[in-house]
Chains A and B, each alone.
Chain A
Amino acid sequence: MRLLNKASVRYLKQHRLQSVLSLLGVALGVAVVLSIDLAIQSARIGFQVSAETVAGLATHAIQSDRGSIDEDFFTRLKLDLNITEAAPVVEGLVTSTSLPGRTLKILGLDPFSEGPFRPYTSGNSPSLDVNQFITTQGGVILTEELASEGGLTTGDSIVIFSSGVRWALPIVGLFQSEDRLTRSGLSDVLVMDISGAQEVFGMVGTLTRIDLRILDSERSYERTIGEITDNLPSGLRLENVGTRSETMAGMIRAFDVNLTALSLLAIVFGMFLIYNSMTFSVVSRRTSFGRLRALGVTRNEILRLILREAFWVGTVGTVIGLALGVFLAQGLIGLITQTINDLYFALSVREISIDTVSLLKALTMGIGATVISSLPPALEAAGSTPRAASTRSIIESKTRRVIPMLAWSGLALCLLGWLVLLLPTRSLSVSFISLFAIITGMAAITPLGTVVLIEFVQPILSSFFGTLGSMAARGIRTTLSRTAPAIAALVIAVSVTVGLGIMINSFRGTLINWLDGTLQADIYVSLPGPQASRASGTLSDSLIKDFVSADGVVGYSTYRAVDVIRAEDTYRLVALELDQRGEGAFDFQSGDSDAIIRDFQLGRGAIVSEPYAYQRQLDVGDSISLAGEKSARSLPILGVFYDYGSEQGTIIVSRDVYNTAYNDDGVTSLGLFLGDSSQSDGVVQDLLDNVPVGREVTVRSNATLRSASLEVFDRTFKVTGVLRLLTFIVAFVGVLSALTALQMERTHELGLLRASGLTPAQLWRLVVGQSGLMGLIAGVLAIPVGILLSIVMINVINKRSFGWSIQMQIDPEVIIQGIALAFFAALLAGIYPAFRMANTSPSVALRRIGE
Chain B
Amino acid sequence: MIESGPSVEIINVRKVYPSGDEQRAVLDGASATIRAGERVAILGPSGSGKSTLLNLLSGIDEPDSGTIEINGLDLRSLSENQRTLFRRNQIGFVFQSFNLLPALTVLENLLLPLELIGKTGNEANERARFLLEMVELSKRADSFPDRLSGGEQQRIAIARAVVHEPSLLLADEPTGNLDEDTSHRLMERLEDLLTSGKTTLVVVTHSRDLADRMDRALALDHGGLVEY
Contact = CB atoms under 8 A, between A and B. Distances in A.
Contacts of B80: 299
Nearest to A851: B102
Interface string A1-24: 111101110110010000000000
Nearest to B92: A295
Contacts of B84: 293, 296-299
Interface string A325-354: 000000000000000000000000000000
A2 B108 CA distance: 10
Contacts of A849: 100, 102, 145-146
A288 interface: yes
Interface string A293-306: 11111111000000
A616 interface: no
Interface string B51-75: 0000100101100000000000000
Contact of B58 (A8, A11, A294): A294
Contact of B103 (A7, A297, A298, A299): A7
B146 A3 contact: no
A270 B86 CA distance: 40
Contacts of B60: 293-294, 385-387
B120 interface: yes
A6 B146 contact: no
B11 interface: no
B103 A10 contact: yes
Given A296-B116, A299-B81, A385-B60, A3 B87 contact: no
Contact of A295 (B55, B88, B102, B108): B88
Contacts of A7: 101, 103-104, 108
Contacts, number: 78
Nearest to B113: A295
Contact of A6 (B85, B95, B102, B104): B104
A300 B88 CA distance: 14
Contact of A296 (B61, B87, B101, B102): B87
B93 A288 contact: no
A848 interface: yes
Given A288-B103, A294-B95, A295-B93, A848 B120 contact: no
Interface in B75-112: 80-81, 84-85, 87-89, 91, 93, 95, 99-104, 108, 111-112
A294 B93 contact: yes
Contacts of A296: 84-85, 87-89, 91, 113, 116
Contacts of A298: 81, 84-85, 88
B180 interface: no
Contact of A11 (B89, B99, B103): B103
Contacts of A810: none
A295 B116 contact: yes
A628 B146 CA distance: 87
A387 B104 contact: no
A675 B99 CA distance: 92
Give chain B's interface residue range (CB within 8 Å of chain A): 20 to 34
A701 to B, nearest CB: 72
B180 to A, nearest CB: 25
B115 A1 contact: yes
A587 B93 CA distance: 82
A155 to B, nearest CB: 74
Contacts of B99: 287, 290-291, 294
B112 A295 contact: yes
A598 interface: no
> Main SS of the interface on chain A?
helix
A3 B110 CA distance: 11
A2 B55 CA distance: 27
A287 B95 CA distance: 13
A300 B81 CA distance: 9
B161 to A, nearest CB: 9
A96 to B, nearest CB: 66
A847 interface: yes
Interface in A433-476: none
A3 B112 contact: yes
Nearest to B89: A296
Contacts of B145: 849
A714 B88 CA distance: 66
A173 to B, nearest CB: 71
Contacts of A532: none
Interface in A50-102: none
Contacts of B116: 295-297
Q: Which of B60, B61, B95 has the most CB of A within 10 A?
A: B60
Contact of B108 (A1, A6, A290, A292): A6
A387 B95 CA distance: 12
Nearest to B82: A298
B83 to A, nearest CB: 9
A97 to B, nearest CB: 68
Nearest to B153: A849
A288 B81 contact: no
A3 B102 contact: no
Nearest to A296: B88
A455 to B, nearest CB: 22
Given A2-B120, A7-B101, A297 B115 contact: no
A295 B98 CA distance: 12
Contacts of B115: 1-3
A3 B104 contact: yes
Nearest to A1: B115
A288 to B, nearest CB: 6
Contacts of A386: 60
Nearest to B51: A387
B124 to A, nearest CB: 10
Nearest to A13: B103
Interface in A507-529: none
A294 B104 contact: no
A3 B108 contact: yes
B108 A848 contact: no
Contacts of A848: 146
A851 B81 contact: no
B105 to A, nearest CB: 9
Interface in A181-237: none
Contacts of A4: 112
Contacts of B146: 847-849
Q: Which of A14, A295, A387, A848 has the most CB of B within 10 A?
A: A295
B102 A288 contact: yes
Interface in A375-419: 385-387
Q: Which of B61, B93, B103 has the most CB of A within 10 A?
A: B103
A297 B117 CA distance: 10
B85 to A, nearest CB: 7
Nearest to A8: B103
A298 B85 CA distance: 7
A288 B88 contact: no
B103 A14 contact: yes
Q: Which of B87, B102, B111 has the most CB of A within 10 A?
A: B102
Contacts of A2: 115, 120
A387 B81 CA distance: 15
A1 B95 CA distance: 23
A6 B58 CA distance: 27
Given A3-B108, A3-B115, A7-B103, A385 B89 contact: no
Interface in A241-287: 287
Contacts of A385: 60-61
18 contacts: A1-B115, A3-B115, A6-B103, A6-B104, A7-B108, A290-B99, A291-B95, A293-B60, A293-B84, A295-B93, A296-B84, A296-B85, A296-B89, A296-B116, A298-B85, A847-B146, A849-B145, A849-B146
Shortest beta-carbon contacts, A-B, top 4: A296-B88, A7-B103, A10-B103, A849-B146
Interface of A: 1-4, 6-8, 10-11, 14, 287-288, 290-300, 385-387, 847-849, 851
Given A295-B88, A295-B112, A387-B55, 17 more contacts: A3-B104, A3-B108, A6-B108, A7-B103, A8-B103, A295-B93, A295-B116, A296-B89, A297-B84, A297-B88, A298-B84, A300-B81, A387-B61, A849-B102, A849-B146, A851-B102, A851-B103
